[in-house]
Amino acid sequence: MGSQWNWVQPLWIVVVGAAGAAVGLLAIAKLLELVSPSTAAVARTTAKESRSQPLFPAVIGLGVVLILLSLFLPYGTFGDDIKMMKDTGLMMILVLSIILAVCSASVSIADEVDGRTALTVLSKPITRRQFIVGKLLGVLTPIVIFYIVMGALFLASTSFKVKFEAKENSLPPPKAAQCQAEMLQTVPALVLAFLETVVITSISVAVSTRLPMMPNMLICAVIYVVGHMTPLIVQSSIGKLPIVAFVGQFLATLLPVLEHFNIQAAIASGRDSVLTFMDWCVYIGWATLYCLLYTTMMLLLSLLMFEDRDLA
C-alpha cells in the first residue's frame, strides 16, 4: 500500500473497537433480559423510542458534519492543528451527547408522567424501581450507539488528519505507526467523555422524575459548568471565611467533580503522550469507579423521588 494510504492501515483498531462495543451492548441487553425481563422490556422500549425521535439522527448528522469540517479548518496553531482538532472534536462529541441524553430522559420520563403513559405502564407487572432502572438503561443505549458511531468516525478522522497536516506543511508522508499513535492517544479521552455523559444522564433522569425538559436542561447545564469548576472553587476557598470554605466543600461533595473526566488540557499541551498504557488504565479505572458510584447515588435518588410521585 502506498505511503499516501498509511493513515488507512491503523483503522483496523477502529473496526475492532466498534465491533467489540456493539457486541458488549448486545451482551448486556441479553444479560438484563435473563436477570430482569420487566426492566429489560422498559429499557428496550425506551431505547427504541429515543432512537425514533428526530433528535437522534439530527445529532448524529450534525456530529458527522462537524467532524468532517474540522479536518480542513485552519486552526492557525503553527503545527498543533492535530491537537486542536482533537480538543474541539472531543468537546463537540461531549456536548452533543449530553444534549441527546437530557432530551431523551425528559421525553421518556417527564413527558410520560405528564401524559399519564407511565401510569399505564405501571399498571402492568412492573414496579416503579424497574421502571426507573429500565428508563436509565434505555436512555443510555442511544448514547452508547452515538459514541460508537462518533468515536469510530473521530478516530478515523484523527488518523487522516496526520496525513493531511503532513501534506499541508510539505513534510514527508507519515508512517502508519504515527497515525496509529495519534488515534490511540485519543481513545482515553473518548472513554472519559462517555463516563461524564453517563453521570450527566443519571442526573437528568433524577430531575426528569419531577421536572419537565426546560428546567431539566437548565439544571444539567448549571451542574455541568459548576462540576468542572469544583476543584477551582475548593482551591479558592482555602484560607477564606469559614462560610466560603463550607460552601466550596459542600459543592464538591454534592455535585459531581466533572474535571476527573476532562483531559483536554493534557491533549492541548501534549502531556497525554507521555503517559503509559498502565497509567491510562489506572486513571480510567478510578474514573469508572467514580462514575459508577455517582450514577448509583443518582439512581437511588431517582427511586426516592419517583416512589411517592402521584401519577394519577
Q: What angle do CA 254, 258, 264 make, to 5 degrees?
A: 165
Most distant CA atoms of the chain, gap in Å: 69
Q: How far is CA 162 from CA 93, 128, 186, 308, in A?
A: 20, 51, 13, 55
Q: How many CA atoms lie within 13 A of 174 on its CB side?
A: 23
Give CA–CA dist 202/265, Å, rounded. Answer: 26
Instruction: Indicate the domain borders of the chain.
Output: 3-307
Task: Please state whether the predicted TM-score (pTM) of the whole model is above 0.85.
Answer: yes
Mean predicted confidence (pLDDT) in 45-52: 90
Average of per-residue pLDDT values in the chain: 84
Q: What is the DSSP letter of 173?
A: P
Residue type present at position 246: F
Give CA–CA dist 298/101, Å, rounded. Answer: 15
Q: Which residue has the higher pLDDT, 193 or 124?
A: 193
Cell of 228: 468542572
Residue 1 scores a pLDDT above 50: no
Residue 67 scores a pLDDT above 60: yes
